[in-house]
Structure 1
Amino acid sequence: MSAPDTRNAEAEEVAAFRERVGLPGLVDVHTHFMPERVLRKVWAYFDSAGPLTRRPWPIVYRDEERVRLDTLRAFGVRAFTGLLYPHKPGMAAWLNGWAAEFAGRTPDCLHTATFFPEPEVEKYVAGAIEAGARVFKVHVQVGGFDPADPRLDPVWDMLSDNGIPAVIHCGSGPVPGRHTGPEPLREVLRRFPRLRPIVAHLGAPEYTEFLALADEYDGVHLDTTMNFTDFFESDAPFPRSAFPRLAALGDRVLFGSDFPNIPYPYPHALHALERLELGPEWLRKVCHDNAVRLFGLG
């Protein structure tokens, strides 16, 4: 099939999923939009199977920005994030400026911002919040920093006070980092227990440890980004023994896709959740209702 035919077939597949489950739409809390030259570098990194991926990663939705937006909307995604992140000091404020402009022209995108432990972090995070940021992205693995770094205390304090969630990649997959794993985040939560972190990828591969953290702190949420897909299960399978705990935390699990940086069609992520057989009510919460509540989407 041609690319348009393929996208149309995928949209029909997602529509059929939504109809089976009874969903008015999808909310995807883990999608990436960033300046074009930055995104191209990210794609080049995936193409090279770099040290943080270590495996071939063919990106399916390698399209121009407008096409990517149209694709999400055709899938019935009513709200999504524009996750972006710095890999070194001096980038975050510039990325936040771009993200504010993108959110301003993209009303269905949840205004996203980011940060890095650096002297000016408090100032530009406060500015991002004042400009309307509704979610932050933290990538402990790529940034190579400790989320419990004291320079970030004012940031965590502001996010706690304003009830703003932060999608945080802090699990040790695909490759462990100096500050990945549950303990750095646990230290942050010990100091800021009202924080609302969204643990990306269900904390893979430390699934049970991050589920325990969610049991301990009511503000902890988890996203399903890439989890349960054939691609992810081949490398970091979710333990079947933890399914009851995942079901019990159904009010704090959120659907994420990693679009556009995924090596398989978007519908597969939804089918992967459906085949868990946790039921349509759980799927409705995960794919829509929980994010609507968390972000006040109405």
Structure 2
Amino acid sequence: MNDHPSAPAGAARHTPVSDGASAEESAEVRRFRERLGLPGLVDVHTHFMPERVLHKVWNYFDTNGPLIGGLRWPITYRRAEAERAAILREFGVRAFTSMLYPHKPGMAAWLNAWAADFARRTPDCLHTATLFPEPGVETYVREAVEAGARVFKAHVQVGAYDPADELLDKTWGLLADTGTPVVVHCGSGPVPGRHTGPGPIARVLARHPRLRLIVAHLGMPEYEEFLGLAERYEQVRLDTTMAFTDFTEGFMPFPRRALPRIAALGDRVLLGTDFPNIPYPYVHQLHALERLDLGPDWLRAVCHDNAARLFGI
């Protein structure tokens, strides 16, 4: 997808806060919460990972790696780990995740060990783990669940694997049986992969209909197809990561005809942001949801209540 604009419409309106959250932004997030009467936010799609891995991710964005699709993508919250966590707390985020993912075999178990340690020293982080289709995956996923992992991340685009691979079948079954949510980047944005799109993950759901799948980024750009999966399978949820923002609307807009469907699924849409790897201030994601004008009840559910209920917060 080399026809993406170098800077989507609207992206230039946002000035990245290179030194982290400003006092003004923190105050604006607080006002957003107060308007809704929320005790805080629950963000199911934030990235914490070993620093050297995260720095490689940032370098990928900086050098416009092929999976970015030609987009200009400055990292707004390029800060040290403790500072990034402090920023989320300033925003009133009660719980967040450490979405991390391998791009090749042999990485997942090591990443899971790091994530378990991060969760121990970061009580407001939901203990996150990951997986990859490889021999032994069921063993280390079971170990992670038994160690307290509360959510998994799978990245079909970056990992370039078929989620319906037979190597993962028992693992999906394990996660379905234990009721462990899995955030899966399975949509084809910003650049399609060999196994992205609704088809491969639909095959997983056909085998494991009770899997608590959280479709990252609302499945962009196949929004309507992934809404269809959520309408068909009662355990399928969607996260809002980067959806409806000026940045994303500039190259993968959400079809307005589908807004009634996302309103009707209001109990299964969860706030996600991609913090810290976003090219605009955090508060813009909140404003982007608010301007959909789907009502305060929908916003309260999306920004707090749905995830709080799912994770028992």
Task: Give the TM-score, by structure 1 length.
Answer: 0.98
Q: Aligned partners of 2:253 and 2:91: how far apart in 1?
A: 27
Name the SS of the counterpart of 2:94 in structure 1.
Answer: strand
> Could you tell me which residue of structure 1 aligns to residue 6 of structure 2?
none
Going from structure 1 to structure 2, the CA distance change for 1:78 and 1:154 (only over 3 Å counts) comes to same
Aligned AA (2:24): A
> Could you tell me which residue of structure 2 aligns to residue 246 of structure 1?
262
Going from structure 1 to structure 2, the CA distance change for 1:3 and 1:56 (only over 3 Å counts) comes to closer
1:19 deviates by 0.8
Name the SS of the counterpart of 1:61 in structure 2.
Answer: coil
Name the SS of the counterpart of 1:113 in structure 2.
Answer: strand
Ranges in structure 1 where 5+ consecutive residues have no aligned partner: none
Match of 1:200 among 208, 216, 224: 216
Q: Could you report, residue by residue, the CA deviation over 1:10-52 in whole angstroms, capped at 9, with x for unpaired residues?
A: 1101000011112110000000000000000000000011110
Match of 2:295 among 276, 279, 287: 279
Q: Could you report, residue by residue, the CA deviation over 1:216-261 in whole angstroms, capped at 9, with x for unpaired residues?
A: 0000000000001000100100000000000000000000000000
Name the SS of the counterpart of 1:52 in structure 2.
Answer: helix
Q: Aligned partners of 1:22 and 1:234: how far apart in 2?
A: 31
Match of 2:25 among 7, 10, 16: 10
Going from structure 1 to structure 2, the CA distance change for 1:89 and 1:3 (only over 3 Å counts) comes to closer
Q: Could you report, residue by residue, the CA deviation over 1:154-187 in whole angstroms, capped at 9, with x for unpaired residues?
A: 1101101110000000000000100000011110
> Could you tell me which residue of structure 1 aligns to residue 54 of structure 2?
39
Q: Could you report, residue by residue, the CA deviation over 1:121-144 in whole angstroms, capped at 9, with x for unpaired residues?
A: 111111101110000000000000
Q: Aligned partners of 2:222 and 2:107: how far apart in 1?
A: 29
- The aligned runs of 1:93-172 (5 Å cut-off) are 93-172=109-188
Going from structure 1 to structure 2, the CA distance change for 1:260 and 1:6 (only over 3 Å counts) comes to closer
> Is it true that 1:57 corresponds to 2:79 in the alignment?
no
Name the SS of the counterpart of 1:242 in structure 2.
Answer: helix
- Kept in 2, the 8 Å contact 1:7–1:71? The answer is no
> Could you tell me which residue of structure 2 aligns to residue 20 of structure 1?
35
Q: Aligned partners of 1:6 and 1:88: how far apart in 2?
A: 34
Going from structure 1 to structure 2, the CA distance change for 1:6 and 1:112 (only over 3 Å counts) comes to closer
1:4 deviates by 6.4
1:151 deviates by 0.6
The percentage of counterpart residues that share the same residue type is 70
1:206 deviates by 0.3
1:296 deviates by 1.1
What is the aligned-residue RMSD (CA, Å)? 1.2
Q: Aligned partners of 1:209 and 1:265: how far apart in 2?
A: 29
Q: Aligned partners of 1:186 and 1:88: how far apart in 2?
A: 23
Task: Give the TM-score, by structure 2 length.
Answer: 0.93
- Kept in 1, the 8 Å contact 2:18–2:78? The answer is no
Aligned AA (1:176): P
> Could you tell me which residue of structure 1 aligns to residue 4 of structure 2?
none
Aligned AA (2:77): Y
- Kept in 1, the 8 Å contact 2:19–2:79? The answer is no
- Kept in 1, the 8 Å contact 2:20–2:87? The answer is no
Q: Aligned partners of 1:39 and 1:258: how far apart in 2?
A: 13
